[in-house]
Structure 1
Amino acid sequence: MKEAIAEASKLLIWVLCLNFPLEVESCPGACVCYSEPKITISCQQQGLGAIPTEIPIPTQRIFLHSNKISLIRSTSFTSCRNMSILWIHSNNISLIEPGAFYGLDKLEELDLSDNVNLRSIIPTTFQGLVHLHTLHLDRCGLLELSTGLFRGLFSLQYLYLQDNNLQSLLDDTFVDLANLTYLFLHGNKIKSLSENVFRGLINLDRLLLHQNRVSAVHRRAFHDLGKVLTLYLFNNNLTVLTGETMAPLVSLQYLRLNGNQWVCDCQARSLWNWFKQFKGSSSELECHLPAQLAGRDLKRLQSADLEGCVDSFNQIRTSVFSTKTRLGKLPTTAPPLNPPDSSGKCCQPEMDKSFIYEAKAKAGPSSHSSRASSNNPLKDKENMAKTKHPMEAELPKNSSNKQINDSPFGTFPSAVDPPLTNFKPEFLGPIEPSTVPTKKRQGCSRKNKSRSQCRVAQVAQNSSTPPLLPSLLIGPLVWSQLWFFC
């Protein structure tokens, strides 16, 4: 028994001796190294300006966060083929050279967050990271996501992209991420969601898009998101969202749409109908327009409340939103955006409401479905006449009519977020009544027996001033003659 204990003690000492050189001799300066539970190099908060060059080959975890590193070279981790975790967040990284992570096929977690000068990443940066399941790119000052940036990351489950400066997302950006479950995009400046922006995310569970500038959502933007349980779209610039857009979200349980300026008129009817069958939890959808419904929850309205369309420019106040962002600042906003194609209108076509939403940007052809309209056109027309704004009655009849598109967002113009300064001048200021009455064509008197006599009478009435002078002088001449004889 004693001999067995002695042999075990020798074996333990031998193992400790094998680990001891790694911890002391091979550990880079200013770093702490240990081998349990995994071989780890910890160099955080050491004021390092570059990545250490003496990282041992067997290293599995490297912690380099909270330093002053500004560059990741293509040769920085060439010897670290066993690395599974790399934390290099909270540095000053502005450039990642091509091939910086080449060969790290065992890497599972990569944290590059809080590098505010990392504004762009070349498309091949993460190529070959086939076992990567967590990628942190939040708070990096990213302006765009290059095409193919996430290509081949089939194992990725968590992608953090929040609090950057992203203004748009390209179609098929996430097409290879079939195993992604969490996608964090909140706190950016995204303005629209196109048809295939989320294509391929068939296992996504949580999608956070709050505190952006989203004003346009394509009707098929969520077509691959059948497993999403949580969707946050609060604090955006949304005014309309259709039930057709929400229909693919068959597993949705938690929905937040508050902090938008919802227009609760005929455009909101399809969303209102969708909420009637939605069984999950939802925030309130506070109506902004029309004025008589302001502050009420769209979900609690009656069907009769959604008749008619908003038709007054003076009610639209989209340049300043009432909802503040997480930083306490007002989001940059834009007028509600509708494509110019007017297929599927819920209002009468003869009503010209283009001065409400008309912007300088020009959209392409629309590809969305039509919205249900009333079966009684006479009744609709009567309702329109009752709700017509006084200013609208004074528009000249010969003015150019540009019809508004009241249907859901289908395509997006090149400038989705035009400033108010780009609006046409005639649509910016209040409409003033003309001081000169509209010139009407004079009708024929009953005394005129023929069309020729009518024309002669109209010529006489429309003749210039000089022929009228003799008739004007008759009065004074008569009075002068009477005075003479008296």
Structure 2
Amino acid sequence: MKRAIAEGSSDSTVISLGEIITVDRILSRKPQGSKLLILVLCLNIQSEVESCPGACVCYSEPKITISCQQQGLTAIPTEIPIQSQRIFLHNNKITLVRSTSFTSCRNMTILWIHSNNISLIEPGAFYGLNKLEELDLSDNTNLKSINPVTFRGLVHLHTLHLDRCGLMELSTGLFRGLFSLQYLYLQDNNLQNLLDDTFIDLANLTYLFLHGNKIKSLSENVFRGLINLDRLLLHQNRVSLVHRRSFHDLGKVMTLYLFNNNLTVLTGETMAPLVSLQYLRLNGNQWICDCQARSLWNWFKQFKGSSSELECHLPPHLAGRDLKRLQSSDLEGCIDSFNQIRTSVFSTKTRSGKLATGSPPLSSHDGSMKCCQPEMDKSFIYEAKGKAGPSSHSSRPSSNNPLKDKENMSKTKYVETDPSKNGSNKQINDSPFGTFPSIVDPPLTKLRPEFLEPIEPSTVPTKKRQGCSKKNKSKAQCRLTQQGNSSTLQLSLSLLIPPLVWSLLLLC
């Protein structure tokens, strides 16, 4: 009887030994009609799992799961059962996700492919996986870029791991249509810029992890649409500029990390939209604590949450002090931060060995008001280093008009602080953890005298004229004397030539 039941079952039917024994006992006690009914029920018992891939372990509780991690796989198995709900393929050597890899897995809710060698995901690889809720692609360091249509149709996806994938950029529309997404992990990549409206469709996103990248600035609409965001982690980047409206949609953010960046100035207007903020970390930046910091200082007066220290870097007499604990009188003056920064350029190198960038910290994309302007000519600072002329990041662009250029060269050089005029958006620091030394550099007044001597205008010819005697009282007299000397020489030559000619004729 046991053999008959086993032989009569379909290929997909698997009946345990205990079930066969139980059915055998029931059949031995029941009439013939009941035996046939029970036999039909047994034949319709569904299998727990269809055929399991050779290198995998399959089980059905609590959900139908295919586990193939750490098996040395170089490709995704082709015989994955169609009823699989959870598929674990992490810690293998898979290099490619084909467009046909999961076409039959329409019931899948969790897919882990992290810690592989994936370098390409073909468009359509996740097409039709309408029930997918969690996708982990992290730790695939060769991925670098993802096609913008890769995640289309994943309307129930709530968690997406893309951390440590070597991503260089986020394609326009990459997260389009992911209306259910709540957790997005993008940390520890090579992202340098974030485009406006990158996250426009992620209205339900609550956690956004962007730390450990190389992001340099935050534009006006970079976070537009994140109306329910709770946690934003941007620490350990290279952020030196935050647009005054960057956070305009982040009214529900409770945690903001911006520590270990290249910030020098952050306005209170920028922070104002963060009305729910409770935890703020801004340490590890190079804060300038003068009039530029007053609006942020005022904002902290009404901030009720928890904050790290904001250690002042400039001016020197406030170095090391917490901006939040300063008195109003400490912020009344405007330091010549331009001079202080140039001093740092002379004596400070970044960790990469390059000189720190030197644009004044007052510049901003949005043209916000600047509280102080340099009052003296700064051109000698550039030319004191071997008279090489201004560096490219501080000189204004040529107007392609020779007459105009010559006129500008004859005028006193003035370094513009408005990027709309000089076209340069570089900030003071460009390394992840700052470029300033722990000891503040001395002001320019302590430089050696030879660096403080006025430099000749750039229009002075390279040829040196013959110097005049100190006895001359004016340049005009000097020129007359030089002309007189020239005339005397000519007369002497004219008197000597005839005797020489006669002497030659006599010799002949």
Same fold (TM over 0.5): yes
2:315 and 2:337 in contact (8 A); partners too: no
In structure 2, list runs of 5 or more residues that go unmatched.
1-21, 28-36, 383-389, 398-408, 431-443, 458-472, 486-508
> Which residue number corresponds to residue 393 of structure 2?
360
**Separation in 1 of the partners of 2:422 and 2:231?**
26
* Alignment of structure 1 residues 72-471 onto 2, 5 Å: 72-311=97-336, 315-316=340-341, 317=344, 334-335=357-358, 337-339=361-363, 344-347=369-372, 350-351=375-376, 360=393, 398-405=411-418, 416=426, 432-434=451-453, 464-465=480-481
2:187 and 2:209 in contact (8 A); partners too: yes
1:88 and 1:111 in contact (8 A); partners too: yes
Q: Which amino acid aligns with 1:432?
A: F
1:202 and 1:226 in contact (8 A); partners too: yes
TM-score w.r.t. length of structure 2: 0.69
Q: Which amino acid aligns with 1:132?
A: L
**Separation in 1 of the partners of 2:74 and 2:164?**
20
- Inter-CA distance 50–433: structure 2 relative to 1 (3 Å threshold): same
Post-superposition offset of 1:346: 1.4
Instruction: Choose from 8, 14, 27 the match for 2:52.
Output: 27
SS of equivalent to 2:480: coil
SS of equivalent to 1:33: strand
Post-superposition offset of 1:351: 4.5
SS of equivalent to 1:237: coil
1:139 and 1:164 in contact (8 A); partners too: yes
2:144 and 2:166 in contact (8 A); partners too: yes
SS of equivalent to 2:220: coil
**Separation in 1 of the partners of 2:290 and 2:233?**
27
Post-superposition offset of 1:102: 0.3
Pick which of 339-348 and 176-185 moved more. 339-348
**Separation in 1 of the partners of 2:144 and 2:212?**
15
2:265 and 2:288 in contact (8 A); partners too: yes
Post-superposition offset of 1:158: 0.2
**TM-superposition CA deviations, 1:436-484 (whole Å, max 9, x none):** 999xxxxxxxxxxxxxxxxxx9897666335999xxxxxxxxxxxxxxx
**Separation in 1 of the partners of 2:422 and 2:185?**
26
1:125 and 1:149 in contact (8 A); partners too: yes
**Separation in 2 of the partners of 1:244 and 1:363?**
30
> Which residue number corresponds to residue 445 of structure 1?
none
Q: Which amino acid aligns with 2:162?
A: L
1:353 and 1:404 in contact (8 A); partners too: no
- Inter-CA distance 178–363: structure 2 relative to 1 (3 Å threshold): farther
> Which residue number corresponds to residue 90 of structure 2?
65
Post-superposition offset of 1:18: 3.8
Post-superposition offset of 1:315: 3.1
1:225 and 1:249 in contact (8 A); partners too: yes
**TM-superposition CA deviations, 1:210-258 (whole Å, max 9, x none):** 0000001000000000000000000000001000000000000000000
Pick which of 29-38 and 351-360 moved more. 351-360
Q: Which amino acid aligns with 1:210?
A: H
**Separation in 2 of the partners of 1:434 and 1:298?**
36
Pick which of 334-343 and 31-40 moved more. 334-343
Post-superposition offset of 1:32: 0.5
**Separation in 1 of the partners of 2:422 and 2:239?**
12
Post-superposition offset of 1:306: 1.2
- Inter-CA distance 251–346: structure 2 relative to 1 (3 Å threshold): same
SS of equivalent to 1:231: strand
- Inter-CA distance 436–106: structure 2 relative to 1 (3 Å threshold): closer
> Which residue number corresponds to residue 71 of structure 2?
46
RMSD: 4.0
Post-superposition offset of 1:161: 0.1
**TM-superposition CA deviations, 1:361-415 (whole Å, max 9, x none):** 7999xxxxxxxxxxxxxxxxxxxxxxxxxxxxxxx9952223435xxx9999576
**Separation in 1 of the partners of 2:177 and 2:423?**
31
1:48 and 1:69 in contact (8 A); partners too: yes
**Separation in 2 of the partners of 1:363 and 1:43?**
60
- Inter-CA distance 226–128: structure 2 relative to 1 (3 Å threshold): same
**Separation in 2 of the partners of 1:436 and 1:415?**
28
**Separation in 2 of the partners of 1:433 and 1:176?**
57
SS of equivalent to 1:183: strand
Post-superposition offset of 1:140: 0.3
Post-superposition offset of 1:280: 0.3
User: How many residues align structurally?
Assistant: 397
SS of equivalent to 1:271: helix
In structure 1, list runs of 5 or more residues that go unmatched.
323-328, 365-395, 421-426, 439-456, 470-486
TM-score w.r.t. length of structure 1: 0.72
**TM-superposition CA deviations, 1:104-123 (whole Å, max 9, x none):** 01000000000000000000
2:314 and 2:337 in contact (8 A); partners too: no
Q: Which amino acid aligns with 2:303?
A: F
1:241 and 1:268 in contact (8 A); partners too: yes
Q: Which amino acid aligns with 1:465?
A: T
**Separation in 2 of the partners of 1:254 and 1:412?**
37
- Inter-CA distance 461–340: structure 2 relative to 1 (3 Å threshold): farther
- Inter-CA distance 71–257: structure 2 relative to 1 (3 Å threshold): same
**Separation in 2 of the partners of 1:213 and 1:237?**
5
1:237 and 1:333 in contact (8 A); partners too: no
**Separation in 1 of the partners of 2:85 and 2:355?**
45
- Inter-CA distance 66–340: structure 2 relative to 1 (3 Å threshold): closer
